[in-house]
């Protein structure tokens, strides 16, 4: 089987995928922040299209898991890193050659680019041949590189490059600058004058003194005097410079297309693993989720919201992890509890996990089984003019209607505080209706709400609650626990704190 891509099994996939825009739910789930962080500093690879393209085939996902697992090997990861660094240097050199003006200068930059490319390929071949590779993708690629690196085309370019560089580094010349003239000739071992000076004044040496060496700009540009000298050197060493001309004409198409594609695509994995490092260094866990397109008994233990955790780690705050599971007929999480208690975070986490799993990436958590969805929908409260209540409620309903029209039983829907723009009675009514339709679709859903009644709507709903500290209800634990909705219990505990419960007040009134 011939190798063509480390990301996609067949090339047609990749061409289609790259035309995609960011999915609509990206902003709601803070996936835009996550992907921005992942791809930061890697703009040259244009990786975002890969992160916009969920896979809908569990085998393709497994393929990527294998490649990720291979790359978790530190040695291989570093090898790929140094390959990428060299390829970047090749591009920089070519861009530089493009910018320059004088022929011998452009040619030398090109020569150096090819040298680095040859080195990158050779090292990669050696590294891969020594690596313990398990993934189908890497094994195929290893074969490809080995064949390429031993091909006649590649080996001859390599040999010519080495010879030419050795020739050029043997050029050792001297300039006699006098007035407005400079005379170029071969260097004849005249002694270093600074050594003589140091020797003469050795006896006065007293200890450390200032460094008077002037730093000259190391700009790659050349002025016309330097260029004129270079031309004279070409006359002084005609063989070497003629060879250089021929070499450049001959090797213009040195770059292999498959190697170039690999260089870009492998960065999808590298970028994600580097991102993952932020969290593993903070003691958080990741796992390869079991992916199923049929079983909806999903779970994740010690999961967290990546965007929030990233922010908390930067602020050196601790990250709270949460577990969830659905079993048997359970399909819908109904999340209730105090504001700022972690309800929305829980909903986002659920969405992020599923989306990242669909990219074939490892996900936050110790152990997970996730569902291979066909589509993911979110409905989050929108920042709008609060006075225009009717308009907003209408808008909410339109959006939800649209979602329900497109959703299938294999979709995932995340509802966050829908219908806040109306009366409680309306909200209960509308929410119940919507949820009933969702129940009928039998799809996976997270519903964040202040309406306790929704939690016990059906055997398919699971009630989870954002917890507060038992001894101080003002303190949020950000833990989401599976239990019945109990808004009253929360109110009671606050009353307790101020000794205003029924019992307390009675007792205080006794005295």
Partner 1 sequence: MKAFLMYRDQDFDVQQKLPWNEQALTQDLELTTLLDAMALGDKFIWDVARRAVLLSVHDVDTIRYRQDILNDCVKNPAIVRDLYAIAVEAIERERKVFWTFFRDMPHTILHRAVEVLELFVGALKKLRQIADEHGQKFASAGFSALFAMLKAELGDDYFARVENHLRELRFRGGALISAELGRGNKGTNYRLRKRAEKKQTWMERIFVRKPPAYTYRIPERDENGPRYLAELQDRGINLVANALAQSTDHILSFFTMLRTELAFYVGCVNLHEQLGQLGEPTCLPVPVAPRERRHSYKRLYDVCLALSMKQKVVGNDGNGDKRDLVIITGANQGGKSVFLRSIGLAQLMLQCGMFAPAEAFCANICEGLFTHYKREEDTTMESGKFDEELSRMSEIVEHITPNAMLLLNESFAATNEREGSEIARQIVSALLEKRIKVFFVTHLYEFAHGFCDKEMGNAIFLRAERQADGGRTFKLIEGKPLETSYGEDLYKRIFGTDN
Rounded to 5 degrees, φ, ψ at 440 are -65, -35
How far is Cα 374 from Cα 354, in angstroms, rounded to an integer?
11
Size of the residue set binding partner 1 (CB under 8 A): 63
Find the binder of partner 1 among 147, 183, 408, 423 (CB under 8 A).
183
Give the shortest CB-234-to-partner 1 separation in angstroms.
Answer: 10
Find the binder of partner 1 among 19, 59, 74, 201 (CB under 8 A).
201
| Residues in 47-106 at the binding interface with partner 1, rule: CB under 8 A | 96, 100, 104-105
Q: Report the relative pairing of strands 412-416 and 472-482 from DSSP bridges.
A: unpaired
Of how many residues is the chain composed?
511
| Residues in 158-177 at the binding interface with partner 1, rule: CB under 8 A | 168-169, 171-177
Give the shortest CB-247-to-partner 1 separation in angstroms.
Answer: 13
Q: Which of 486, 484, 485, 482 is nearest to 326 (CA)?
A: 482
Binding string, 218-237, against partner 1, x = CB under 8 A? --x-xxxxx-xxx-xx-xx-
Rg (CA), the chain: 33
Give the shortest CB-41-to-partner 1 separation in angstroms.
Answer: 25
Give the shortest CB-137-to-partner 1 separation in angstroms.
Answer: 37
**Calculated CA dihedral for residues 170, 245, 221, 224, nearest 10 degrees:** 90
Q: Does 108 bind partner 1 (CB under 8 A)?
A: yes
Is the CB of 171 or the CB of 494 nearer to partner 1? 171
Q: Does 179 bind partner 1 (CB under 8 A)?
A: yes
Q: Does 178 bind partner 1 (CB under 8 A)?
A: yes
Find the binder of partner 1 among 200, 253, 405, 511 (CB under 8 A).
200
Q: Does 182 bind partner 1 (CB under 8 A)?
A: yes
Secondary structure, 3-state, 40-101: CCCHHHCCHHHHCCCCCCHHHHHHHHHHHHHHCCHHHHHHHHHHHHHHHHHHHHHHHHHHCC
Q: Does 209 bind partner 1 (CB under 8 A)?
A: yes
Q: Which of 152, 166, 167, 165 is nearest to 111 (CA)?
A: 165
Find the binder of partner 1 among 192, 239, 328, 471 (CB under 8 A).
192
Rounded to 5 degrees, φ, ψ at 275 are -60, -45
Buried b (16+ CB within 10 A) or exposed e, 116-125: bbbbbbeebb
Q: Does 194 bind partner 1 (CB under 8 A)?
A: yes
Q: At a CB cut-off of 8 Å and minimum separation 6, what does 310 contact?
A: 33, 34, 37, 278, 279
Give the shortest CB-240-to-partner 1 separation in angstroms.
Answer: 10
Binding-site ranges for partner 1 (CB under 8 A): 96, 100, 104-105, 107-109, 112, 168-169, 171-188, 190-194, 196-198, 200-201, 203-207, 209-214, 216, 220, 222-226, 228-230, 232-233, 235-236
């Amino acid at each position: 089987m011939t190798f063509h891509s480390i990301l996609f099994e067949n090339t047609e996939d990749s061409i289609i995928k790259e035309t995609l825009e960011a999915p609509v739910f990206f902003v709601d789930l803070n996936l835009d922040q996550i992907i921005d962080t992942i791809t930061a500093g890697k703009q040259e690879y244009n990786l975002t299209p890969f992160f916009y393209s969920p896979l809908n085939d569990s085998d393709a996902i497994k393929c990527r898991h294998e490649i990720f697992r291979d790359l978790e090997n530190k040695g291989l990861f570093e090898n790929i890193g140094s390959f990428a660094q060299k390829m970047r240097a090749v591009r920089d050199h070519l861009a530089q050659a493009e910018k320059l003006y004088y022929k011998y200068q452009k040619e030398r930059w090109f020569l150096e680019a090819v040298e680095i490319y040859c080195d990158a390929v050779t090292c990669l071949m050696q590294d891969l041949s020594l690596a313990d590779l398990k993934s189908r993708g890497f094994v195929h690629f290893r074969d490809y590189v080995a064949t390429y690196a031993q091909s006649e085309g590649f080996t001859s370019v390599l040999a010519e490059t080495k010879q030419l560089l050795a020739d050029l580094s043997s050029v050792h010349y001297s300039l006699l600058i006098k007035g407005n003239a400079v005379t170029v000739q071969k260097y004849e071992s005249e002694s270093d004058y600074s050594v003589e000076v140091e020797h003469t004044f050795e006896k006065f040496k007293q200890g450390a003194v200032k460094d008077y060496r002037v730093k000259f700009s190391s700009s790659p540009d050349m002025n016309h005097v330097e260029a004129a000298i270079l031309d004279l050197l070409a006359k002084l060493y005609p063989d070497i410079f003629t060879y250089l001309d021929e070499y450049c004409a001959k090797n213009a198409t040195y770059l292999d297309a498959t190697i170039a594609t690999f260089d870009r695509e492998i960065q999808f994995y590298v970028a994600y693993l580097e991102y993952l490092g932020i969290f593993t260094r903070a003691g958080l866990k990741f796992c390869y989720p079991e992916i199923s397109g049929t079983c909806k008994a999903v779970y994740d233990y010690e999961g967290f919201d990546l965007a929030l955790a990233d922010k908390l780690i930067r602020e050196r705050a601790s990250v709270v992890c949460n577990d969830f599971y659905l079993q048997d007929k359970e399909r819908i999480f109904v999340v209730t509890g105090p504001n700022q208690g972690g309800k929305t975070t829980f909903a986002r986490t659920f969405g992020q996990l599923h989306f990242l799993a669909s990219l074939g990436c490892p996900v936050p958590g110790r152990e997970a089984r996730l569902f291979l969805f066909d589509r993911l929908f979110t409905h989050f409260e929108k920042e709008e003019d609060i006075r225009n209540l009717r308009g907003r409620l209408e808008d909410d309903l339109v959006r939800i209607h649209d979602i329900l029209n497109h959703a299938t039983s294999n979709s995932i829907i995340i509802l966050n505080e829908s219908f806040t723009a109306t009366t409680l009675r309306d909200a209960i009514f509308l929410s119940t209706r919507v949820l009933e339709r969702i129940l009928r679709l039998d799809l996976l859903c997270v519903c964040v709400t202040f309406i306790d009644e929704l939690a016990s709507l059906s055997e398919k709903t699971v009630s989870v609650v954002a917890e507060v500290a038992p001894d101080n209800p003002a303190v949020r634990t950000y833990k989401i626990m599976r239990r019945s909705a109990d808004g009253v219990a929360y109110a009671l505990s606050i009353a307790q704190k101020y000794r205003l419960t029924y019992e307390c007040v009675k007792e205080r009134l006794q005295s």
